[in-house]
DNA sequence: TCCAATTGGTTGAATGTTCAACTCTGCGCG
DNA sequence: CGCGCAGAGTTGAACATTCAACCAATTGGA
């Protein structure tokens, strides 16, 4: 592929990388299951509700949702369709752009979010935030922001690929 | 649910948590796509090959694979079935326990791993390891190990759930 | 002005994952 | 011994995600 030699990871880096992967699967699965069992929604659905709740009119364009979560447009379409079926969201035509579709949180969606937020935040704390020092989390935040920046920058047309 | 008040996350913690989720989806998707495009395997399949390659006889019990990756047994069954179909792994009856099944890496699997490792390590470096200081990664490793420990400890019979 | 490329979004099929039910073997103890 | 429970793994259906193909509206030059 490239001309340069592959620089392998040393044992420590391998361990850190593996800890990251395994810990992440465990963490995400746990939080997802907690939300499903307590409130019948997935973490992806929860995250969408959160983003909608942060706007003044509880409304977001499909593309904005996809972008902010780094999900594919297709995925957002499917997820929103499911949420529409269960009455958490409804679709509306966008004002300005006739191609556009707004996802609008319903009252039911708002209600559910109020309840689910307790469960979720408790989980995030118990399984993640409360497990290490603020400094360690700051470092983690640094790293993950760098990851996003690098990947988005490296790939200007990222939406097309995902 | 519990009697205690929910302690919400402050703005900084929210930001860090969101950076973690978004960065992780971006990172995992990218590494997965790189492996698929270059070598036709998923990251999960790659990880299985790595674990097999680390044993003296390139063999692991199904349950061990599931445990070390924190995947459900069912998921491992399906993944290994796919890999068996594409000739990277074969199944063998376990010596000692007649219930057991060994996954054995084939030569083809070994070959593929040799090639794929370059791609993958290059990706892990470019998109993750080389983006922050060793100290930041140490912190990250700390946190993620704590996460795993907590979740595994909290749930002694974790296998049953996942 | 008009057409080509881009953007926003959806669709349906292929692929992957989860979930619950099931089989088979092993273990402990009356 | 023999019964019942636990452990290992598989199965198939339901569910979620990806991928490629598609349509419709918009934009930006020649």
Per-residue pLDDT of A99-141, as tens digits, reads 999 999 999 999 999 999 999 999 999 999 999 999 999 999 9
Q: Is the CB of B97 under 7 A from strand D?
A: yes
C-alpha distance from A35 to closest chain B C-alpha (Å): 13
Mean pLDDT, contiguous 10-residue spans, chain B (162 residues): 80 96 98 97 98 98 98 98 98 96 98 98 97 94 95 66 43
- Which pLDDT band, with edges at 50, 70 and 90, does A78 fall under? very high
Which residues of chain A does B118 touch, with a Cβ-Cβ cutoff of 8 Å? 1, 6
pLDDT at A159: 45
**pLDDT, tens digit, for every residue of A16-31?**
999 999 999 999 999 9
Cα B34 off chain centre by: 16
- Which pLDDT band, with edges at 50, 70 and 90, does A157 fall under? low
Q: Is the CB of A80 under 7 A from strand C?
A: yes
Higher pLDDT, A1 or A42: A42
What are the backbone dihedrals phi and psi of residue B86, each rounded to the nearest 5 degrees, phi first?
Answer: -90, 10
Name the residue among B16, B127, B128 with its Cβ closest to that of A137: B16
Q: What's the number of CA atoms in the CB half-sphere (13 Å) around residue B139?
A: 18
Tell me, in Å, how far CA of B29 is from C1' of C29?
Answer: 52
Q: Which residue(s) pair with B61 in the sheet? A: B102
Pairwise CB contact (< 8 Å): B16 & A125: no
pLDDT at B162: 45
Chain C bases near protein Cβ (<7 Å): 7-12, 16-21, 24-26
Spatial separation of the C-alpha atoms in residues A140 and A124, rounded to whole Å: 15
pLDDT at B153: 82
pLDDT at A93: 98
Strand pairing class (A101-105; B59-61):
unpaired
Encode B111-147: b = buried (16+ Cβ within 10 Å), e = exposed.
ebbeebbbbbbbbbbbbbbebbeeebbebbbbbbbbb
Which value, to the nearest 10 degrees, does the dihedral of the CA atoms of residues A144, A145, A146, A147 take?
50
Q: Is the CB of A136 under 7 A from strand D?
A: no
pLDDT at A4: 75
Pairwise CB contact (< 8 Å): A138 & B2: no
pLDDT at A153: 82
Count chain A–chain B contacts defined by CB atoms under 8 A. Answer: 171
- High-pLDDT (> 70) share of chain A, %: 94
Spatial separation of the C-alpha atoms in residues A36 and B26, rounded to whole Å: 23
- Which pLDDT band, with edges at 50, 70 and 90, does A154 fall under? confident
């Amino acid at each position: 592929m490239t001309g340069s030699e592959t620089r392998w990871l040393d044992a420590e880096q391998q361990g850190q990388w593996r800890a990251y992967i395994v810990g992440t699967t465990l963490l995400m699965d746990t939080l997802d299951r907690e939300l499903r069992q307590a409130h019948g929604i997935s973490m992806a659905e929860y995250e969408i509700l959160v983003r909608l709740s942060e706007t003044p009119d509880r409304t977001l364009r499909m593309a904005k949702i996809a972008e902010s979560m780094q999900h594919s447009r297709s995925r957002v379409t499917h997820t929103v369709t499911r949420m529409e079926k269960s009455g958490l969201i409804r679709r509306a035509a966008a004002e300005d752009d006739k191609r556009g579709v707004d996802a609008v949180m319903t009252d039911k969606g708002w209600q559910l979010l109020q309840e689910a937020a307790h469960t979720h935040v408790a989980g995030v704390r118990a399984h993640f935030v409360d497990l290490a020092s603020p400094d360690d989390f700051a470092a983690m935040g640094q790293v993950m922001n760098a990851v996003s920046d690098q990947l988005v920058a490296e790939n200007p047309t990222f939406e097309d690929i995902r």
